[in-house]
Structure 1
């Protein structure tokens, strides 16, 4: 729902009733994962998507009915040869969608505010009721104290790990949608390639920081869309900032006086992705310097250098796509191979 926050806030401000449809379960090759959301308002306007187009028409009709009746619904959309181009999913999957009126979404304004500010929050839902779980408190009820306690505990654990999905609490199925704070992308080197990488990082939902020791290059005018600009020696900044298992580090300076001390620090962090730009010769020289400084081979094996997938990229924007593609592939276990050459399910089993 993070991607439709601005639209929902506008509807709330204007007092327009709406319904939110959320994917709560998927089977086989479903195009969107649990948590994907689509909203329909009383004027017929639509935000978001639950299936990439396959069943949006049916969900739209159901959401319109929910707005009119004020009663939540749970719908399942699957596929067979006979209905693939009517309501079902042509990809062969099945999704379960919960559709709720805004009046049933307890704490909606608080949730939307948290999402807009990047603060962690989770929503626990059953048809017609919602409870909001924060790291330090809960708000609302699912209608039963014991159910609230059990579901709230599970939601707190899922929020800590940024996971969403259906769970069983007190022998009832509830849906937990958690929104952890956005993962970080830190781009080192305020060059033209960094501007393109920062833009695509924002597009992917990262909280983006650009760091460079040269203040003349690291300016808001050159990087208007990033969340933070830091003028500091890269390795010093990295030593003092938070890096977790979701963090992405893109080293674009390709200058050994910056790269080597920075990567000595980076390769000992839990960052999910560490990539460094440079020619083959630059990358080989960098590895030699890192080995000489005592970085073990196990740590060096985590380094993606030259950074990005082989897309034949030339421009900064094309290079940013190649880098983003490698980050996505690493995050989800993708091979980076053309889908036309593969036989495995596109969205996993």
Structure 2
């Protein structure tokens, strides 16, 4: 439930749009609070769950004249069998309006401009004090924290598995992917949004460009390059690192890394194999399991604070 200002600014470069946000859910619904889609006159990005609700939301977004909140009972209003109710926020956005977003917690009314209610003031102050997520919908206002900079994910190798992983993870929010290999011909002609291509005769020379907070997936065409990347990344530091390979390959790497002076505790921070081997070795299976692990960890880190906050109007 964070507002991704930089991503919205990039979207605004393609023209004004309406952001449709799931602000509140009662009962069963296709998507959770915080799900969003961006609607232009001629195209849409993102989804709030598809079906009749999304179709109606797109139509209303394209006729939207100002920020507002609308409630949809999915059964009676939409003929859907979910059985719940969804409140959607509609916000027209462009580069000029996005330039006014500032601070760590951004609040604005869904309707005519008005003085900020006391409940919203308190919710913002508590979110800043405790570093928690505020209630998304509070006294008719939207209250969102500004998302931090995207996490850097470095994918080493543009082969079958590298391509599958980038294609699966790139559409997910809050990732900045750096994709490295030896030659431009190894990459697809068109890169997904948010992906930066890096080319070097020896990709291991690029390790010094990666911040110690980055995550890494090592899956090149060469065991020798894989090993050099492991060695250099252990010296550089990282948030997490995964290596594609068999147990035999990893045992050999562990022995050689130890000979180079890395401690067992350091070496054990590299996960090998990546993903869930029980799902198979197909590139798409590996990509899905890797993405699932990344999402699960992110939810575990942020989930408790996001689900316990409330708002008293």
Same fold by TM (over 0.5)?
A: yes
Between the aligned partners of 1:154 and 1:220, the Cα distance in structure 2 is: 51
Taking CA–CA contacts closer than 8 Å with sequence separation of 6 or more, which of the two structures ends up with the larger relative contact order?
A: 2
User: Structure 1 317/50 Cα, relative in aligned 2: closer, same or farther at 3 Å?
Assistant: closer
- Name the counterpart of 2:22: 23
Unmatched runs of 5 consecutive residues or more in structure 1:
13-17, 115-119, 130-140, 335-347
User: Structure 1 251/28 Cα, relative in aligned 2: closer, same or farther at 3 Å?
Assistant: farther
User: Structure 1 290/25 Cα, relative in aligned 2: closer, same or farther at 3 Å?
Assistant: farther
- How far 1:221 sits from its partner (Å)? 6.0
Paired residue secondary structure (1:203): coil
- Name the counterpart of 1:98: 89
- Name the counterpart of 1:109: 95
Determine if the alignment matches structure 1 residue 238 to structure 2 residue 236: no
Q: Give RMSD over aligned pairs.
A: 4.8
Between the aligned partners of 2:269 and 2:241, the Cα distance in structure 1 is: 7
Paired residue secondary structure (2:295): helix
Q: Select which of 197, 204, 207 maps to 2:165.
A: 197
CA deviations on 1:190-219 (whole Å, 9 max, x unpaired) are: 54433333333433353322334xxxx332
Between the aligned partners of 1:157 and 1:32, the Cα distance in structure 2 is: 29
- How far 1:285 sits from its partner (Å)? 1.6
- Name the counterpart of 1:128: 111
Number of residue equivalences: 290
Alignment of 1:195-344 (within 5 A): 195-205=163-173, 206-212=175-181, 217-219=182-184, 222-224=187-189, 225=191, 226-231=195-200, 233-244=202-213, 247-253=214-220, 257-266=224-233, 269-271=237-239, 273-310=240-277, 311-314=279-282, 316-333=283-300
Between the aligned partners of 2:179 and 2:237, the Cα distance in structure 1 is: 18
Unmatched runs of 5 consecutive residues or more in structure 2:
302-306, 309-313
Paired residue secondary structure (2:179): strand
User: Structure 1 142/261 Cα, relative in aligned 2: closer, same or farther at 3 Å?
Assistant: farther
Between the aligned partners of 1:248 and 1:165, the Cα distance in structure 2 is: 30
Between the aligned partners of 1:76 and 1:172, the Cα distance in structure 2 is: 12
Between the aligned partners of 1:239 and 1:147, the Cα distance in structure 2 is: 47
Between the aligned partners of 1:34 and 1:182, the Cα distance in structure 2 is: 20
TM-score (norm 1): 0.60
CA deviations on 1:59-101 (whole Å, 9 max, x unpaired) are: 456546x63xx4543234567xx659725745x6x5432223x
TM-score (norm 2): 0.65
